[in-house]
Amino acid sequence: MGNSAIIPADQITRDLLPQKFGTRGVIWTTILILTCMLGAFAYYRQLRYGLVVTNMRDYVSWGIYISNFVFFVAISLVGSLITAILRLANVHWSTPLTRIAEIIAVSAIVFAALIIIVDMGRPERFLNLALHGRIQSPIMWDVIVISTYFFISLLLLYFPLLPDLKIMIENKEKTSKWLYKLYRFQGSFWKGTKEQFRLSDKAINILCILIIPVAFSIHTVTSWLFATTYRPGWDSTNFGAYFISGAFLVGSGAVVVAMYVFRSAYKLEKYITELHFDRMGKVVVMLSLLYLYFNINEYLIPAFKMKKSEELHLEELFTGEYSKMFWFAIMVGMIIPIFVLIFKAGRKPLPMFIIGSMVVVGAWFKRYLIVTPTLLHPFLPMTNVPESFKHYFPSWEEWAIAAGSMAGVLLVITFFARIYPIIPIQETITEQTEHHENN
């Protein structure tokens, strides 16, 4: 635990046990629930009238649902980065962040799956994927890896939670009756014996190794949904790496934002310290540079050749209709974060929070730019269709569903933090003791 003084174990427990919502928490949750309900209403309309309530049409057949899906899959990748990669690299400072990263991963992947169902014209036929599934289709690959990733992330959330469940069961007086029942149901068997720890640690290690290829798969396969087509802007061998680097970046941005919010909401300054922000800042810089590198690959090389099919697409992005959004996403999502975060002052909590938010927002627009402009630049000219088919701007239903899904992700995270300690208690205590003993 950083360079701060040793905190007694009982105080750690007291600080980190889940807290009831304050007024701000209630308002926040209410807003999220209302947004979700709006999204649900919009979805009801979509079910009733069909996808005609969206502004997608025959040319732009995928819209913000799909860009939102890519965004969620991207964010969820951070679970593997913070938990697994840093853990395997023997980095210890990231321990307090693991659970934040993991719950972001789980809730984002759940809503990624949901948004795909929302995008389907016949959601009631979802089971056809099991009944008539065709392994040649990248969609099937996606379905398989996403469900696998969800399952691994869930386990990776659960195993480290066991010791904390024991602590919470022991602090019965600080919790409500039904939560106590829930804790007992989930973890009453955990006695904290050496053998249990041995098995659990081994399981966590296996999961950490397993999650890395699966995480790479989910986003690589997601990129292949585009790269397996011929379309300009998608037809790229760079796409898998490009998507993964972007995913790590947006996920880290989301973790930074979550760190800041939890830190101030739950007064966790002693546990999520400036050192964590500083280190995460360095991680974000590195990832921004990496993503920038892949972006240059992705745009400079086709632009150098300017093949006819790519020409209009690239021009629209660089100087045309989409140029404002394009340069906004590049500047806000990569360039500005790099320039702010290379300075130590830029890696303080508040600037980090702002930069983290910028990274996330920039990343959302980046996904929009990956999906939509390409569809508006098909090989054959867009004719013999109503004028509305030649443009795309999401309808209110699409915005509402997109907003609802984001609110949903945040709601899951919020409720999780209400029920479980968002910073692992047991691990923090262990690290403190180890740190103390080492000194």
Partner 1 sequence: MKIIKQNILSLLFVFTFLLLPVIKIMAQEDTAAGTPVVKLHYYNNNNSIQYVILESSLKKNKVFTPQKNKSYALFLDQSTPENLIGNILTDNEGKAKVFVPPSLKAAWDAAGTHNFIVKEGEEEIISDYAITKSMLTIDTASEDGVRTITVTAMKWEKNKWIPASDVEMKIGIERQASILSAGTTETYTTDSAGKATVELKRDSLPGDVNGNYTLAARVEDNDLFGNILVEKNVPWGVPTTIDTNFFNIRALWTTRFKTPYWLLFMAYSIVIGIWGTLIYLIVQMVKIAKMGKTP
Partner 2 sequence: MSCNCGENKCSNPDNPEVNGNSRRDFLMTGLTGLAATVALAGCGTGPNPFIPEEKVALTGGKVKLLSVNGEIIEIDKAFLKPVPDMPHLSNAEERHGIAGKKFVMVIDLARCKNLRKCQSACNHMHQVHPGQNWIKVLGMEDADHAAPYWQPTTCMHCDEPPCVKVCPVDATFKRQDGIVLIDSDRCVGCRFCMAACPYSTRVFNWEEPVLTEEVAEQKYSCESSMPQKKGTVGKCDFCPDMTRKGELPHCVSACPNGVFMFGDLNQDTVSNGAETFRFSELIKDKAGYRLMEDLGTKPSVYYLPPVNRNFPYENGLENSKTDDNSYHTK
Any contact of residue 226 with partner 2 (CB under 8 A)?
A: yes
Closest CA to 246 of 290, 216, 214: 290
DSSP helix/strand/coil, 249: helix
Q: Which is nearer to partner 1, 212 or 331 (CB)?
A: 212
> How near is the Cβ of 37 to partner 1 at its closest, in Å?
35
Q: What is the 3-state secondary structure (H, E, C) of the chain?
A: CCCCCCCCHHHHHHHHCCCCCCHHHHHHHHHHHHHHHHHHHHHHHHHHHCHHHCCCCCCCCCCHHHHHHHHHHHHHCHHHHHHHHHHHCCCCCCHHHHHHHHHHHHHHHHHHHHHHHHHCCCHHHCCHHHHCCCCCCHHHHHHHHHHHHHHHHHHHHHCCHHHHHHHHHHCHHHCCHHHHHHHHHHHCCCCCCHHHHHHHHHHHHHHHHHHHHHHHHHHHHHHHHHHCCCCCCCCCCCHHHHHHHHHHHHHHHHHHHHHHHHHHHCCCCCCCCHHHHHHHHHHHHHHHHHHHHHHHHHHHHHHHHCCHHHHHHHHHHHCCCCHHHHHHHHHHHHHHHHHHHCCHHHHCHHHHHHHHHHHHHHHHHHHHHHHHHHHCCCCCCCCCCCHHHHCCCCCHHHHHHHHHHHHHHHHHHHHHHHHCCCCCHHHHHHHHHHHHHHC
Interacting partner of 226 out of partner 2, partner 1, none (Cβ under 5 to 8 A depending on kind): partner 2
* Burial call 330-348: b when 16+ CB within 10 Å, e when fewer: bebbbebbbebbeeeebbe
Judged by CB under 8 A, which of 389, 419, 430, 431 binds partner 2? 389
C-alpha separations of 384 from 113, 313, 423 in Å: 35, 21, 58
Judged by CB under 8 A, which of 44, 49, 189, 318 binds partner 2? 49
Any contact of residue 134 with partner 2 (CB under 8 A)?
A: yes
Q: Which residues bind partner 1 (CB under 8 A)?
A: 132-136, 141, 144, 148, 151-152, 155, 159, 162, 188-191, 193, 195-196, 199-200, 202-203, 206-207, 210, 214
Any contact of residue 144 with partner 2 (CB under 8 A)?
A: no
Q: Which is nearer to partner 2, 54 or 175 (CB)?
A: 54
> How near is the Cβ of 405 to partner 2 at its closest, in Å?
17
> How near is the Cβ of 190 to partner 1 at its closest, in Å?
6
> How near is the Cβ of 217 to partner 1 at its closest, in Å?
8
Q: Which is nearer to partner 1, 210 or 336 (CB)?
A: 210
Interacting partner of 203 out of partner 2, partner 1, none (Cβ under 5 to 8 A depending on kind): partner 1
Q: Which is nearer to partner 2, 137 or 188 (CB)?
A: 137
Interacting partner of 231 out of partner 1, partner 2, none (Cβ under 5 to 8 A depending on kind): partner 2
> How near is the Cβ of 194 to partner 1 at its closest, in Å?
10
Any contact of residue 378 with partner 2 (CB under 8 A)?
A: yes
Judged by CB under 8 A, which of 16, 36, 56, 340 binds partner 2? 56
Q: Which is nearer to partner 1, 133 or 320 (CB)?
A: 133
Judged by CB under 8 A, which of 82, 118, 143, 423 binds partner 2? 143
Interacting partner of 202 out of partner 2, partner 1, none (Cβ under 5 to 8 A depending on kind): partner 1
Any contact of residue 305 with partner 2 (CB under 8 A)?
A: no
Interacting partner of 148 out of partner 2, partner 1, none (Cβ under 5 to 8 A depending on kind): partner 1
Residues 176-215, mask of contacts with partner 2 (x by CB under 8 A): ----------------------------------------
> How near is the Cβ of 105 to partner 2 at its closest, in Å?
24
Residues 80-99, mask of contacts with partner 2 (x by CB under 8 A): --------------------
Handedness of CA 368, 412, 417, 149 (dihedral sign): negative
Q: How many residues bind partner 2 (CB under 8 A)?
A: 51
Decide if 21 contacts 29 (C-beta within 8 A).
yes
Decide if 106 contacts 150 (C-beta within 8 A).
yes
> How near is the Cβ of 135 to partner 2 at its closest, in Å?
9
Any contact of residue 146 with partner 2 (CB under 8 A)?
A: no
Enumerate binding residues for partner 2 (CB under 8 A). 49-54, 56-59, 61-62, 116, 119-123, 125-126, 128-129, 131-134, 136-140, 143, 225-226, 228-231, 375, 378-389
